[in-house]
């Protein structure tokens, strides 16, 4: 067995272990992997940071001419969007665009949570926009499958450099 075959077998074993770990994960791990988890969590965190200033200025929030009410509005909407992004992952792109928009606008009403909330909101919105659901086929991996993918011979693995199959 030459060096190339050893590397190939090692790569196949590593892939098989990763897929088994994913398949045998707990309920929370499976739930977390099916949605834009970190985008939603960071969005909720940015909403709480943005709401920090208006909550401390609530006594003057409803006086005409103050922008504190806008801080409540933008922070509350960010909080709702963060929760909805975890509940409805299929709309994560739309939620991400709105989160970025509201995070930038929160500078006007709540100082953007001392700009920390704005930065967290932009990052979380970007994570929500960039999230994509990937389906993993685990039927080819398992006991007796020989570490190969479904429909492929046991000796072929994807080449890391070109993306083509090598036998």
The pLDDT of 11-32, averaged and rounded, is: 84
The pLDDT of 2-12, averaged and rounded, is: 91
Tokens 């922070």, located at residue: 75
- Give the pLDDT score at 105: 92
**Can you give the residue ranges of every domain in the chain?**
1-34, 36-130
Alpha helices for 24-138 (secondary structure H): 27-33, 37-56, 68-87, 92-114, 116-130
Q: ∠ at Cα 98 (96, 99), nearest 5°?
A: 65
> How many percent of the chain have pLDDT more than 90?
46
CA 112 to chain centre: 22
Structure tokens at 93: 């792109």
How far, in Å, CA of 107 to CA of 57, rounded?
15
* Confidence band of 57 (pLDDT split at 50, 70, 90): confident
Candidate from 32-36, 96-100, 152-156 with smallest mean pLDDT: 152-156
- Give the pLDDT score at 165: 42
How far, in Å, CA of 76 to CA of 109, rounded?
12
- Give the pLDDT score at 139: 63
Candidate from 13-17, 122-126, 159-163 with smallest mean pLDDT: 159-163
Judge contact between 152 and 63, C-beta under 8 A. Answer: no
How far, in Å, CA of 161 to CA of 4, rounded?
14
The pLDDT of 6-29, averaged and rounded, is: 85
User: Does pTM top 0.85 for this prediction?
Assistant: no
Digit-coded pLDDT (tens) for 116-135: 999 999 999 999 999 998 77
Judge contact between 39 and 131, C-beta under 8 A. Answer: yes
The neighbour count for residue 60, using CB atoms within 10 Å, is 11
CA 59 to chain centre: 37
């Amino acid at each position: 067995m030459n060096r190339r075959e050893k590397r190939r077998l090692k790569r196949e074993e590593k892939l098989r272990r990763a897929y088994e770990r994913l398949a045998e994960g707990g309920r929370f791990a499976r739930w977390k992997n099916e949605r834009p988890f970190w985008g939603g969590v960071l969005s909720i965190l940015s909403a709480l940071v943005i709401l920090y200033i208006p909550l401390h200025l609530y006594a003057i929030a409803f006086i005409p001419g103050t922008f504190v009410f806008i801080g409540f509005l933008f922070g509350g909407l960010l909080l709702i969007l963060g929760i909805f992004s975890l509940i409805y992952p299929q709309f994560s792109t739309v939620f991400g665009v709105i989160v970025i928009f509201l995070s930038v606008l929160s500078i006007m009403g709540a100082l953007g949570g001392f700009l920390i909330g704005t930065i967290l909101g932009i990052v979380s919105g970007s994570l929500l926009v960039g999230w994509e659901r990937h389906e993993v086929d685990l039927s080819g991996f398992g006991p007796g499958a020989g570490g190969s993918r479904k429909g492929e011979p046991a000796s072929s693995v994807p080449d890391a450099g070109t993306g083509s199959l090598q036998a």
